[in-house]
Amino acid sequence: MKIKIHPTAIFIIAFFIWYKDFARLLAAVALHELGHSLAARMLGRKNQVLTLTPLGCSLYVGELTGPSAALVYLAGPAVSLMLIPLLYPQTLWVFAFNMLPVLPLDGGRVAAVAIGERRACVLGGITLLCAAELCLLYNAVPVGVAVILYLHFRYLASARLIKIRRTADFLRDLY
């Protein structure tokens, strides 16, 4: 597995190491991604790239389709659930956040496999609107806005990639 570190992530990692609870959160996120990696390896995906970013980690294993994709997407949350007794509450937060049905999070990817990408995009948009409403309702505006904006831009990027892939498939089918 190849590991990349985003340049801005160095400062975040230093903060994680300095502050004990954030160090536990970083460990929870890394173990979550390791769950995805192990499941992908069992399915024969050897060329993996783990990227440490300012807002956590992401694992690239290539294009996944079908029921095996759902197994890889659910492996990370399964590891998070198993680690709740050891790293509570960090793994609980990692699990809950990743299971939101918003692309490109695990919950959104599982929804895309289960109900199709187009419906998963609509579900993700509705989820983001509900999350924004809850942040306003419970005065969690600063943190909530940051998380929702992050998810929104990741969601838009995923939706664009889906459109680009559909267009490429359509053009390929013409020839």
pLDDT at position 80 is: 92
pLDDT at position 104 is: 79
pLDDT in tens, 77-86: 999 999 989 8
Of 165, 139, 154, the residue nearest 107 (C-alpha): 154
Place of tokens 């199709």: 116
The residue from 38, 67, 99 where one domain ends is: 99
Place of tokens 């992530």: 9
CA atoms within 13 A on the CB side of 88: 4
pLDDT at position 121 is: 79
pLDDT at position 79 is: 93
Greater pLDDT, 172 or 66:
66
pLDDT at position 77 is: 92
Same domain flag for 87 and 131: no
CB atoms within 10 A of CB 29: 24
Tokens (6 digits) for 100: 């939101």
Tokens (6 digits) for 87: 């790293």
Residue 140, φ and ψ in degrees, nearest 5: -100, 40
The order of strands in the sheet holding 49-53 is: 2-5, 49-53, 56-60
The residue from 81, 99, 117 where one domain ends is: 99
Same domain flag for 115 and 153: yes
pLDDT in tens, 94-138: 898 889 888 878 898 899 888 988 888 788 878 877 877 777 777
Same domain flag for 18 and 74: yes
- Domain encompassing residue 107: 100-175
Same domain flag for 93 and 132: no
pLDDT in tens, 14-28: 766 667 777 788 888
Same domain flag for 77 and 19: yes
The number of domains in the chain is 2
For residues 50-70, average pLDDT: 77
β-strand 56-60 against 49-53: which pairing, if any?
Answer: antiparallel
CB atoms within 10 A of CB 45: 18
Tell me the C-alpha distance between 74 and 124, whole Å.
17
